[in-house]
């Protein structure tokens, strides 16, 4: 990943990897090129509950969703 991670980004990355998710760099809507960690999932609500973090953002990618710190 090629971006400067905040403490929140680091916690998201650590928690997601420990749970077996593939963490990727993502630039969401209205982020103007800024990048953050993300995970692609089928059910964002289950993932967010599993992560136990508030304020995660979700974009619909068709059949799947990307959850990111924003």
pLDDT tens per residue across span 43-58? 999 999 999 999 999 9
The model's pTM is: 0.88
Range 8-14, long-range pairs (CB < 8 A, 24+ positions): 8/53, 8/69, 9/36, 9/37, 9/69, 11/53, 12/37, 12/51, 12/53, 12/56, 12/69, 13/37
Label residue 28 by pLDDT band (50, 70, 90): confident
Task: Please state, in angstroms and rounded to a whole number, the distance separating the CA atoms of residues 11 and 14.
Answer: 5
Give the model's pLDDT for residue 43.
96
Whether 19 has a pLDDT exceeding 90, the answer reads yes
Task: Name the residue with higher pLDDT: 31 or 43.
Answer: 43
Whether 1 has a pLDDT exceeding 50, the answer reads no
């Amino acid at each position: 990943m090629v971006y400067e991670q905040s403490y929140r980004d680091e916690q998201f990355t650590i928690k997601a990897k420990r749970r077996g998710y593939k963490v990727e760099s993502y630039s969401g809507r209205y982020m103007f090129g800024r990048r953050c960690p993300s995970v692609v999932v089928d059910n964002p609500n289950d993932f967010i509950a599993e992560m136990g973090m508030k304020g995660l953002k979700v974009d619909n990618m068709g059949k799947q969703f990307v959850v990111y710190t924003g």
